[in-house]
A and B are shown apart, each in its own frame.
Chain A
Amino acid sequence: MACSIPLPPPGHPRKYPEMGGREGGEGWNRRQKKATPMNASADHNDALFRYLLRLGDTSHILCHRLGEWCGHGPIMEEDIALTNVALDLIGQARLFYQYAGEVEGKGRTEDDLAFLRPERDFNNLLLVEQPNGDYAKTMARQFLFDAWNLLLFRALERSTDARIAEIAAKAVKEITYHRRHSSGWVIRMGDGTEESRTRIVAAFEQLMGFTAEFFHMDDVDRQMAEVGIGPDLESLRDPWMADVEAVLAEATLDWPTATWSVLGGRHEGRHTEHLGYLLAEMQSTQRQFPGLNW
Chain B
Amino acid sequence: MKLTTMRTDIVEALSLQDLCRFCQADETWVVELVEHGVLDPIGSTSGNWRFVGTSIVRAKKARRLNRDLGINTAGIALVLDLLEERDAVLRRLAQHEAI
A binds B: no
Which B residues have a C-beta under 8 Å from some C-beta of A? Answer: none
